[in-house]
Each structure stands twice: as structure tokens, then as C-alpha cells.
Chain A
């Protein structure tokens, strides 16, 4: 995964609450078992007046001239609620989004962001609203968002921050603890035999 450090982009506002992953990438746009080819389907229900023919809705914010090439989305609370589909994150990233600022995120979506290098930033709703169309600078190492001469600190879990900054793969990291896991499993198998299964079929 690509490391994340600083991002500078106009903040494109899509300030609706409870935007769900079905809207971010509808099930009908998930056409293969891979992680690519999803950007075209991003926000398909809102972005197109005719999704099948890909006729764009000029009123939708991502179709506006000022939004072209944006790397930063500003959204409402509980962003990414609903289905766990990681395709929502893959679609946003393939479209070019590198960070999302929201008053809150749905938990599975937020975890999916961290595992893929999309930076989820939580700031109060007034701050998020105030960033609309401003040139925003994000510094992950300092945990700051700056715009118009002002600056705000954002929280992020230490492990998530380290993984994003260094572009680390979680599985590779955990596999380094393989022997500790094996020891734990050996003891656990004796303590909780019912938790282990024999391959039957």
C-alpha cells in the first residue's frame, strides 16, 4: 500500500449524513471479483441521470468543473454506513480520493480505509462545513488539517497512523508475530477444545 503523508487539495463538499456504501458503489457496479474497474461506478446513483448509459448529472458535485482532480471529499456524519463492501474504498481511491473528512465514519468503512491507505479524518461538523471549496492541506505526521490560515488537530489511532505513514501491509506485520500466535493457539487448544474443528468434508 502507498504511504500517506501530506495531501493538498480543494475540499469537495458532499455534506449529506449517513451516506451508505450502496450509494458509494452500488452492488450492480461490482462486476468482478477484483479491486479495479470501480471508479466509473463511484456514486453512480447520484453521479449519473442514466447510470447504464453513464449520462452525467451536471448538478452532482463531483461532475462540477471545480471538483475535477480533487483528492479530498468532505462528507456528513456516519459516512460509509451499511454494507461492509471494501469496494467502496477501492472505488474512491481509483477515482483519485486520498482523504475524507467527516464528523464520523461507520466503523467497518473506516477500517477498510486504513487497510488501503485512504485517510479518514474526523473533525467537528462546523469545521467540515467550513472547508468546502477551500484549498486544504493535510499533514498526517502532525495530525493537522489547515485551510485559510487556520489549523485543526485530528485524532487517529497510533497504529493506524503508523501503518498509513509507512504504507505497511497488516498481514506482513502480523506474520512477524507468527510464533507468538502459534504458542497462544497451542495453549488455547488445550483450554478450549470445542473452539477447534477437524476438517470433515
Chain B
């Protein structure tokens, strides 16, 4: 019987069994950020331990950095500066590579790792950040851990792991116009639950996945954690190798026969299989307080937990489209890459956001994305439409106590979590694709981006 892609990478990294019956897995890359990495670096220093191989450990400032132009170490979050200064000092002491606040390569951890060629197919990569699974889009085994595990990985070059089960999610057929990788991820979670992937490493496969560009694949893999999977992974192909070749930490060529082996064998068996008809998917928008509370933008709010209806202020049976929104956010490790910005900008071109929108932000995923967007004039286009154009960082994907949305806002957001209070106390979040955010910002209500695109086409 053949092997899954997951099994090939896992088995190639298994050093030995531990006395307790777990497996000792070699870790090729560790990536930290200032919010949770600082705790790992601090404990490591306090215990007198050191990094086994500093050349393979990276850190970045992304979570609480100021995203306004002209920023420094100061944060809008009270006390946030200490995370930045401590991470900087600890990274220097540990001898690891740091992407600092205003380095030209700074950006959101999961955006810059591929940009720098730090993630590669077949590698194991961990970070104390739940969205590390994003990087599984490159055919790496990449997963999120806690700060203690990050310290373990840095100090020993390994993690002690129980082997997860395997699952394959196949998106058969092709996506319709205006339907994106974000909608694929949300549709999966809506159908199978926010806990649906627990205990599994999930391989995303099928015609619609192969058809995605690398940035779309990252968006899909990104939300494996909202599915409670250990990780998501997508077999590398020519697109993957073309994207990575020659980047700063990547090989110049991927011509070793090894790379072609990084796919699930035709006769590989998965513990669980899910098949989704990609052609039947519509743009998806969350209605409640869990990513599983998500429906097609054309649908009515279903009966959910009473608490979710109360928090979000939408009753069962209410249409989701047409719900007034007060704010719009385009950014996050899910949807902040150049193609995300281009697609949102295409809908905003020559239009203005509704006067009822009190705050609208575009936060590029990295300074490289920002420079590219500016070279294409997207910044001017977003500003002309009424969006603020920012420096890169995680920004208002979550509220850290500093910058926030206006009190009581309902936000249409290209982020990954719609938890109670995630974007601020009492703030109501609807997660959706960048297209849906743009269309809704223009309309001032939750809107189907396909209608706007049709208008565009017929104009």
C-alpha cells in the first residue's frame, strides 16, 4: 500500500521512539513572533539553555507592531513595546535571525516565511502560532505549538509527538467566478464543524486545489486550525517550486528527484476522506461567533446557539446579505497577499465605500507586498475608495488593547476568527473573502461580490 504525503514527511523525520511511547520528530525550522516567542526565548535564557542550530531559527515582529506609517517600537497596545524590545534583545542573544519592525522584509510570519524561502516542501516547521498550518500550502509539515514546545524545538531540534491520523479533503471540480480559497475553507468548516479536523493532519487535494495559485493555497491551508486539524498540507507541484526557487533561503533549483516524491501515492489510504463539490460553492460569510457559523452570502441565518445570536444581533431566519456593516478590514495571514489586494482593488476601482463605514483598513501582509502594491498603484486606489493604507502586521485581526474599531461596530473582515470580542469588546465580526469585504464596504451592507463583478463585466 502506498504512503500519504503526511506519512512520507513524518517518517523521514522520526528519530526514535521515546520511552513513553511517543515519537521524537526532527524539526527543520522554528519561527517565532514577539507575542508568544518572547516567552519561549525568555524561559530559555532563564534556564541557561541555548538554541541547537540558530541558523534554522527565525523571529519576526508582527503581532502588536504599530501599522501606521512612520512607526517605531512604540505600540498602540499599552505596554506592547516591551514585547518588541525583549524579543529583539533575546533574539540577538540567541543568535537567531530577526526580521525587525522596519526591516525591508518584515511582515506577518506566515507571509514572510514563503517570501524568504524559509519554508520548503518536505520540511517540518513549527511556530508558537496557530496559523503555522498556512505554510503547509508548500508541501511542508507545518504546525502551531505553544511557547514551551517552541523552546523544546529550539533547544533540542525536535518535538515529542503522538502521530496524528490522516484525512484528505478533496475539492472536486472548479470554483465558480467570485468564489475563492477563503470560501473553500469556510465551506469545509461550516459543513464539518470547528472541531471536525481534530486529531488529523489534513491533505487538501482535488482539481480546485491544484488550480489555486500559491497564495490561494496558503489561504486554504491557513484555516486548517479553525477546523482543529493538527495541520493542512498540499502536495507541491510546478507552481510551488517556481514560487520558491531562488528565494533567499531556498534552493536555486528543485531538480533533485526527491522533490517529485512529495505527493500521496495513488493507492495511499487516509483514515478519513471528505469530498466537496467546488462548483457548488458560493461566497461564504460567517453569521455567528465560531467559524463553523458560516453560510453562503445568499442564505438566511440558521438556528444556532442562542448566545451566538444574542452576541451577533441576528435572529434565525434573517437574511445575511443586506445586514448593515460599520467597518471593513482587509489583512491577516489569511488574506493579505498581493493577489488578495489586487482582487479587492479591482472591485473598489472607481468606487467609494459607503458613508456609513466608520473605519476601513487595508493592512498588507508584508512590506514586500506593500511595495509591490504601491508599484501597481493599489495604495492610491484603496485610498481613493476610502480605505486607510497601512504598514504590515497582524493589526486588527485581533484586539490587543490599543487600536480598535469604533464601539459597537459590525465588521466585515478578511480574517480567520469571528469569536466574541476577537476584534474588540462587543465588536461583531463577519469573516469573508477580500472580494466580499470590498463589495460589502461599497454597499455598506453585507453583499455578494459576484453582483459587483457582473456589473463590472457588463459596464
* A residues adjacent to B (C-beta < 8 A): 16-18, 20, 22-23, 26-28, 30-35, 45, 51, 77-78, 81-87, 89, 104, 106-108, 111-112, 115-116, 157-163, 170-171, 173-175, 177-178, 180-181, 184-185, 188, 192, 194-201
Contacts and interface: CB of A to CB of B under 8 A. Distances in A.
Interface in B1-30: 15-16, 18-22, 24, 26, 28
Contact of A197 (B55, B155, B195): B55
B22 A84 contact: no
Interface stretch (B348-356, B380-388, B413-421, B440-448): B413-421
A51 B425 CA distance: 9
Contacts of A104: 195, 198
Contacts of A198: 55
Contact of A85 (B36, B149, B250, B417): B36
12 contacts: A34-B42, A45-B425, A81-B195, A82-B419, A84-B128, A85-B35, A85-B36, A108-B225, A157-B22, A170-B148, A174-B160, A194-B251
Contacts of A175: 155-156
Contacts of A162: 19-20
Contacts of B20: 157-163
Contacts of B122: 192, 195
A180 B160 contact: no
Interface stretch (B171-179, B207-215, B338-346, B395-403): B395-403
B156 A174 contact: yes
A181 B158 contact: yes
B170 interface: no
Interface of B: 15-16, 18-22, 24, 26, 28, 35-36, 38-39, 42-43, 47, 49, 53-56, 64, 77-79, 82-83, 86-87, 95, 97, 120, 122-123, 128-130, 144-149, 151-152, 155-158, 160, 162, 194-195, 198-199, 225-226, 228-230, 248-251, 256, 258, 290, 292, 305, 307, 398-401, 417, 419-422, 425
Nearest to A176: B19
A194 B253 CA distance: 11
A27 B401 contact: yes
Contacts of A85: 35-36, 146
Contact of B144 (A17, A20, A108): A108
A201 B47 CA distance: 26
A120 B149 CA distance: 17
Nearest to B230: A107
Q: Which 8 A-B pairs have the closest CB atoms?
A: A159-B20, A28-B401, A78-B195, A86-B146, A112-B146, A33-B38, A159-B22, A115-B148
Contacts of B226: 81
Given A180-B16, A195-B123, A201-B97, A171 B145 contact: no
Contact of A30 (B35, B123, B290, B421): B35
B15 A184 contact: yes
B15 A171 contact: no
A124 to B, nearest CB: 14
A180 B15 contact: yes
Contact of B421 (A18, A26, A32, A177): A26
B79 A31 contact: yes
A37 B30 CA distance: 27
A84 to B, nearest CB: 4
Given A28-B399, A86-B146, A107-B228, A181 B156 contact: yes
Contacts of B155: 171, 175
Contact of B120 (A33, A35, A81, A194): A194
A43 B241 CA distance: 45
B130 A174 contact: no
A63 B144 CA distance: 33
A102 B133 CA distance: 25
Given A22-B422, A108-B144, A170-B152, A86 B128 contact: yes
Contacts of A185: 26, 157
Contacts of B198: 78, 104, 106-107
A160 B18 CA distance: 11
Given A81-B194, A159-B160, A195-B28, A86 B148 contact: yes
A116 B148 CA distance: 8
B144 A22 contact: no
B119 to A, nearest CB: 11
Contacts of B64: 27
Contacts of B36: 84-87
Nearest to B290: A18
B262 to A, nearest CB: 12
B305 A17 contact: yes
B123 A82 contact: no
Nearest to B144: A84
A33 B145 CA distance: 17
B421 A45 contact: yes
Contacts of B195: 18, 77-78, 81, 104, 106
